[in-house]
Every structure is written in structure tokens, then in C-alpha cells.
Amino acid sequence: MSPRLYSAVRTVHLVLASIALPFLLMYGLSAVQMSHDGWFNMKPAVTERALSLTPGLDDARAIARDVMEHAPDARGELASIQATPSGTSLRIVIPGTMHEVRYTRATGAATLKTNVGGVMVMLNRLHHAAGLSHTVTAINVWGALVAIVSCILIAVGLTGLWMWFLRRSERVLGVVLLGINLAFALVMIVLIRRGGP
């Protein structure tokens, strides 16, 4: 194989790895947070305010739209909709922030309780965000980026294996390291699936 082609493949490998690295660090940090919750301050800042909405609304989406008109900062996806004897309760959620709404049908009075988490809360929620079918465009963009980075990681793995295979002197060591890595990954999967004590 020509040195020029090898150099080009190595450059592609390094560039792709550099693109994926911030995502890997973010997912690694949020995974540590989920495993060791006590190490991080996850307590949100809570504010509450009263809103005067249109009375007589039954549809949760209409209530959420009315909330967003009166409180423009209360943006996000609709979740946890529950009918109450006097009206409706619902949540408007984006990663790191949750708005809890309690709406009274007869009067249109509503309370908006906002929980704003810190960076670690946002990373935790982004760790769980998936798919491209969200009503919030930013979360769909995040899902697309994660899909692209997943493909990049496959390319990084393939180019890395290819470069390693070309170096005959390092093949035995590479096989040993791959075997250790596989064994470690299998043990971790078993421990994670088994759960806690």
C-alpha cells in the first residue's frame, strides 16, 4: 500500500475521531452522572407564577398554546397530560427545563411552575433524547447529529482496524487488546442488565 494512501486514511480517521470526541465526552459524563447521582447537584431552580388563560378549554394542546402566548419562555414538548376534576394538568418539557401547568377550566386560572436544572440535568435529558419525531426542532436536530456521529464512529472503527491490520508487527498485540476489550464490554453489559443489589 502506498504511503500517500495510508496517510490519507489516517487523516480521515483522525478528523472523524475529532468530530465524534465531544459527543463521546458528553455521553460519558452524563453516564457517570446517572451512575453516581450523588456526585452532582441535580436540584433544579423552581419558580412559580399565576397565569390568566382562556376559560373553558378542554384540549391540552390548546391550553399549552395559551400558556406559551402568556409565558413565551414556556416552550417545549407536551407531556404528562392528566384530566383533573376542575381542569387539566400538563407538562411542557425541553432538556433541562420542565414547566408544570395546572389549569382550571371554569375560570381559566392556571399556575405555571418552572423547574430549571443545571448543565448536568440538561446533559442527562439529552442522553435520553432519541428520534426525529419531536415537536421541538432543536431536539430533532440533536437526534440527526447523534445519528451522524453514530455513522462516524463506525467509520472510525473501520479505518482504525484497517490501519492496524496493515501493520503486521502489531497484529498480535491488536488481537489481544480487542479480546480484552470485548471481554470487558461483555462483563459490563451483564452487570448493567443484572441491575443493582
Q: Clarify whether residues 161 and 185 are in a common domain.
A: yes
Residue numbers of the domain that contains 102? 45-116
Residues 6+ apart with CB under 8 A from 85: none
Instruction: Tell me if residue 159 falls in helix, strand or coil.
Output: helix
Whether the predicted pLDDT of 191 surpasses 80? no
Q: What is the pLDDT of residues 6-25, one digit of tens each?
A: 888 889 999 999 999 999 88
- Tell me what the pLDDT averaged over the chain comes to: 86
189 is a domain residue: yes
Residue for grid cell 450523588: 38
121 is a domain residue: no
Residue for grid cell 492496524: 164
Domain harbouring 88, CATH code? 2.20.25
Q: What is the pLDDT of residues 34-47, one digit of tens each?
A: 877 788 878 888 99
Q: Clarify whether residues 21 and 52 are in a common domain.
A: no
Q: What is the pLDDT of residues 79-136, one digit of tens each?
A: 889 998 899 999 998 888 899 999 999 999 999 999 998 888 888 888 888 787 787 7
Residues 6+ apart with CB under 8 A from 112: 48, 49, 50, 51, 67, 71, 74, 99, 100, 101
Q: Clarify whether residues 69 and 18 are in a common domain.
A: no
What is the domain count for the chain? 2
Among the three residues 116, 148, 178, which one is the final residue of a domain in this structure? Answer: 116
Residues 6+ apart with CB under 8 A from 57: 63, 66, 88, 103, 105, 108
Q: How confident is the model at residue 145 (pLDDT cuts 50, 70, 90)?
A: very high
